[in-house]
Amino acid sequence: MAKGRGQERRAEIAALKRALMLEMHGLRFYQVAAERTQSKAARALFEDLAEDEKRHKEELERHFRDLLQGKPISTPPKGPPMDLKFKDDVISRELKAGLKDAWFESAALAIGVMLERRAIEYYQRRKETSKDPSERELFSWLVEWEKGHLSRLMALERSMRDEIWHEARFWPLD
């Protein structure tokens, strides 16, 4: 029995390491995107996303420290995930106004969508395979938080893509 728990503990540590890497990649990406954009609205968006990823990372670090000290994973914060501060209509309006110069922002949104999807897929898989109820709860909490990011980013990306296609007089056949 002790051997099985040791394997579970190693799997939990490995899962938290992977989750921390996903959050650090997202944090750094959004920081760089905020630094590089020329749009005030896009900067606010990327800074907001970076701050959220930082909170995720800090939460995961807390759980990781607990595991390394032999403690069980504690429950994540209660309540719904915090909402992002930026407003979709504000960023959409500003980015669309400068559409000819918004290629960086459009690409950054698309990359953000990919990062969020990858995180959700991993967190979902870990939630489903973990034997520890506290770990399942932690990864469930992360899934919900990242889904919020994903839906907002997808809506902005779709809006920009439609506008770019319209500007370029390119209408797909779908």
Structural domain including 162 reads 2-167
Residue 9 lies in a domain: yes
Inter-residue contact 140 to 127 (CB < 8 Å): yes
Is 19 among the domain residues?
A: yes
**Tens digit of each residue's pLDDT (9 = 90 or more) over 145-164:** 899 889 888 888 777 766 66
Contacts of 83 (CB under 8 A, 6+ apart): 148
- What's the angle, vertex CA 96, arms to CA 91 and CA 100, rounded to 5? 130
Is pTM beyond 0.95? Reply is no
pLDDT score at 1: 41
Is 152 part of any domain?
yes
Of the given ranges (73-77, 109-113, 137-141, 165-169), which has the lowest mean pLDDT?
Answer: 165-169
Position 9 confidence tier, pLDDT thresholds 50, 70, 90: confident
Distance CA 19, CA 23 (A): 6
pLDDT digits (tens, 9 = 90+) for 23-49: 999 999 999 999 998 888 888 889 989
Number of domains in the chain: 1
What angle separates helix 40-68 from helix 2-36, to the nearest 10 degrees?
Answer: 160
